[in-house]
A and B are shown apart, each in its own frame.
Chain A
Amino acid sequence: MVVYRCDISLESIFTAVYLAYEEKRVHEETMLCLTDEPIFFSEDIKVIPDVQKARKVINTLNRRFGQENYLSLCMALASEDEDAAQAVYRTIVQGLAGDISRGHLFDNLADDYVHRVFALARGVSTEIGHQKQFLRFQELENGVLYSKIGPKYDVMVFLMPHFADRLPIENFMIFDEKRNLFGIHPAGRPWYLLHGEEVELPLQMSEEELRYQELFRHFCHTITIEERMNEKLQKNMLPLRFRKYMVEFTS
């Protein structure tokens, strides 16, 4: 058994995939492992991330499986799950081995690895959807839009393109408080990520901000039809964990 030890980054995992092919490993006897947990009778290889190699793997994946399936693989990795790397590796192997056309990487759901990646990617995709729905911006004194989120998975890279496309002429930043990660979009320019910076919180909100929060709270309250009250349905659709970040549920 050969075990490639990698970290959670895309470079590291795709480099490991590249190495497994380059060194002509028997895939059934090869593992990608994200932890340092010892495995008996195995040969450990520490993976050193290599951007060139990772890039080659990414190009191959895009060419063979199409962009949508490639993004699903990335989403599965964003779940930060321990099995994610191994499942993605074996899904890639079975995809490259078989004659699979673009967009059909996840057809064979009866396969355990394929199903695992599929399920992980679906979970992350749902979380991305939720954040697009429930994320709220607040206007700061200097006109910058600021939002704090606490997502289950590391979804920032999937959120930024959506909001950058939507609000191209705004300065905005999204702060993932669980991972201490900033997504920053300066007006009219490309967005970027910022890791582990300290910021001076609390930030000062603009005067208008409170007024619009109040207006929206009124709106949400008024739009409810008393005769149809259904808190259970509301909780199903809008889980409680999001509410502490949403202006209409805080005051």
Chain B
Amino acid sequence: MRRGGTVDGGAGKVEYLIAGAGMSLTEKLEVLTDAAKYDVACTSSGVERKGNGRSIGNCVAAGICHSFSGDGRCISLLKILLTNECIYDCKYCRNRCSNDIPRATFTPEEVCTLTMEFYRRNYIEGLFLSSGIIKNPTFTMELICRTIWLLRNRYHFNGYVHVKGIPGAAPEVIEQTGFLVDRMSVNLELPTAEGLRVLAPNKHRKNILTPMRQIQNGIQSNRNDLVLYRNAPRFVAGGQSTQMIIGATPESDYHIINVAEGLYQKFGLKRVFYSAFVNVTGDKNLPALPGGPPLLREHRLYQADWLLRFYGFRAEELLDEKRPFFNVMLDPKEDWAVRHLEQFPVEINRAPMEMLLRVPGVGVKSAQRIVAARRSANLSFGDLKKIGVVLKRAIYFITCNGRMMYPVKLDEDYIVRHLTDKKERIQFGSDGMSYRQISLFDDENFMRPVSAAEHLQAAVGVI
């Protein structure tokens, strides 16, 4: 079932083998979507581009999610692999060469037609194209590049395009691709070089970081070009992102957010994505996860990630060597707050922006609104509710005009008990970590009315 295919794009043609050439488009789409679905670095954000009146498509900075799949994750881009053939044998990956699964390859025309037809029906916001490695990384990257070239120049697609940078590909191809796409991502896969060596023997930390650095430098020098020439072509305008698999190797949360912080600071990444490990290959080197994927852990990491990017927290404030994992009951911000009660309560009408951002229940938007609103009025708790502050979390940490909403003890145990009381968080127990806070009032019979005999017993002792 193999035949030769050609890609015509840019300069010259490239010939390659197509697996599953006899398959229908529906079957191919199924195989190649299935192969791409574990990649989570697939947002449609970061670029604002108006339509040009001649071609199809524009971009919205915030990104648009066009649908939501049964697992609640957004469907924003047509997320597919060009091919799921791969010469690598990464133990966690469904497409590893030693895995016996149906293989398929799209022709570039099929990718382009699908993208255009889905896009004009408003199903998707653009294309996310990744690929298994055929022949070698440079060849694969070239195929991706030519497909996107075709989409941009023959099909005149002006919407969002996100492609994977293939580690180990020649820098020239990566640069060429960068000028055609809005976002590029190189997957870090595992947080440490050690994990990579065990689970992905064909990938090396150095190979992954090299294209990442190249893209970063490309974006930087493109920015300088744009200052000089306003109409210079844009290089990866939406920035780059990456993903790490969580729970396949024994790294701690502390380790992971330190890596993330490093990536934001040293590589100028737009986003780091965390993907709870799903064991799809059943390899003996991988952990069995009887409770399902570590979703709560992934959730906590995302919360911490937001704190790093928008709330002015540093990784070592959230966790340290002695406490390397996030609290199961409290989110990272609450957890930080109850351990730093000496900085609370915060006076809403006076506190600086940086301190407002550290109050649990106050987000970036509400902090900005508080700062704007207190110029013209003295804010009360009622006003905070209007502004959108989550009072059930915030009341333990704030005062309005010197008063707290209720008499609250600034005491760690007291606040933790109230924050976790009847929490909806229990629903995150899918990874087997749900438990209840031990309380004096755990006795189920506590609310039962006292009988006459018990009154007597209490008064005179044993009857």
Interface residues, chain A, with chain B CB atoms under 8 Å away: 98, 104, 107-111, 115, 132-139, 145, 147, 163, 165-170, 188, 208, 212, 214-216, 218-220, 222-234, 236-238, 246-248
Residues of chain B lying within 8 A (CB to CB) of residue A115: 386
Residues of chain A lying within 8 A (CB to CB) of residue B51: 165-168
B198 interface hit (Cβ, 8 Å)? no
A/B interface sample: 23 pairs, CB < 8 A: A107-B375, A135-B122, A139-B121, A166-B58, A166-B159, A208-B117, A218-B26, A218-B29, A219-B29, A220-B69, A222-B37, A228-B73, A228-B293, A230-B70, A233-B71, A234-B68, A234-B69, A237-B74, A238-B68, A246-B67, A247-B121, A247-B123, A248-B123
B194 interface hit (Cβ, 8 Å)? no
Q: Which 7 A-B pairs have CB atoms at the shortest separation, nearest pair first?
A: A233-B72, A110-B377, A107-B372, A228-B71, A230-B72, A224-B70, A165-B51
What is the distance, in angstroms, from B52's C-beta to the closest C-beta of chain A? 8
Contact string against A for B residues 33-51, beta-carbon threshold 8 Å, 1 for contact and 0 otherwise? 1100110000000000011
Residues of chain B lying within 8 A (CB to CB) of residue A222: 29-30, 33-34, 37
Contact string against A for B residues 276-294, beta-carbon threshold 8 Å, 1 for contact and 0 otherwise? 1010000000000000110
B173 interface hit (Cβ, 8 Å)? no
Residues of chain B lying within 8 A (CB to CB) of residue A109: 369, 372-373, 383, 386-387
Flag if B70 contacts A234 (CB, 8 Å).
yes
- In Å, the complex CA distance between A124 and B76 comes to 22
B376 interface hit (Cβ, 8 Å)? yes
Apart from A109-B387, A219-B75, list 15 A-B contacts with CB within 8 A.
A110-B378, A133-B65, A165-B51, A165-B58, A166-B51, A167-B51, A167-B56, A168-B54, A215-B25, A223-B37, A223-B75, A226-B71, A231-B72, A233-B68, A234-B68
Flag if A225 contacts B30 (CB, 8 Å).
no
For chain B residues 325-367, which have a beta carbon within 8 Å of chain A?
none
Flag if B123 contacts A136 (CB, 8 Å).
yes
Residues of chain B lying within 8 A (CB to CB) of residue A218: 26, 29-30, 33
Q: How many B residues face the partner with a CB closer than 8 A? A: 56
Flag if B50 contacts A165 (CB, 8 Å).
yes
What is the distance, in angstroms, from A137's C-beta to the closest C-beta of chain B? 5
- In Å, the complex CA distance between A166 and B52 comes to 9
Interface residues, chain B, with chain A CB atoms under 8 Å away: 25-26, 29-30, 33-34, 37-38, 50-58, 64-75, 78-79, 114, 117-118, 120-123, 159, 276, 278, 292-293, 295, 369, 372-373, 375-380, 383, 386-387
- In Å, the complex CA distance between A204 and B276 comes to 45
Flag if B117 contacts A212 (CB, 8 Å).
yes
What is the distance, in angstroms, from A93's C-beta to the closest C-beta of chain B? 15
Residues of chain B lying within 8 A (CB to CB) of residue A137: 120-122
- In Å, the complex CA distance between A163 and B64 comes to 13
The residue that A214 contacts in the complex, of B26, B54, B293, B377, with Cβ under 8 A, is: B26
- In Å, the complex CA distance between A165 and B30 comes to 32
Given contacts A138-B121, A168-B51, A212-B117, contact A110 B379 (CB under 8 A): yes
What is the distance, in angstroms, from A45's C-beta to the closest C-beta of chain B? 31
Flag if A166 contacts B56 (CB, 8 Å).
yes
Q: B57's closest neighbor in chain A, by CB?
A: A166
Given contacts A108-B377, A138-B121, A224-B70, contact A169 B386 (CB under 8 A): no
Residues of chain A lying within 8 A (CB to CB) of residue B295: 228
What is the distance, in angstroms, from A175's C-beta to the closest C-beta of chain B? 14
- In Å, the complex CA distance between A112 and B178 comes to 50
Q: B156's closest neighbor in chain A, by CB?
A: A169
Flag if B377 contacts A111 (CB, 8 Å).
yes
Q: A111's closest neighbor in chain B, by CB?
A: B377
- In Å, the complex CA distance between A102 and B161 comes to 35
Q: A168's closest neighbor in chain B, by CB?
A: B53
What is the distance, in angstroms, from B299's C-beta to the closest C-beta of chain A? 11
Most chain B CB neighbours (cut-off 10 Å) among A109, A170, A230: A109
Most chain B CB neighbours (cut-off 10 Å) among A104, A167, A216: A216
- In Å, the complex CA distance between A108 and B73 comes to 36
Residues of chain B lying within 8 A (CB to CB) of residue A219: 29, 33, 75, 78
What is the distance, in angstroms, from B78's C-beta to the closest C-beta of chain A? 7
Residues of chain A lying within 8 A (CB to CB) of residue B120: 137, 145, 167, 170
What is the distance, in angstroms, from A72's C-beta to the closest C-beta of chain B? 14
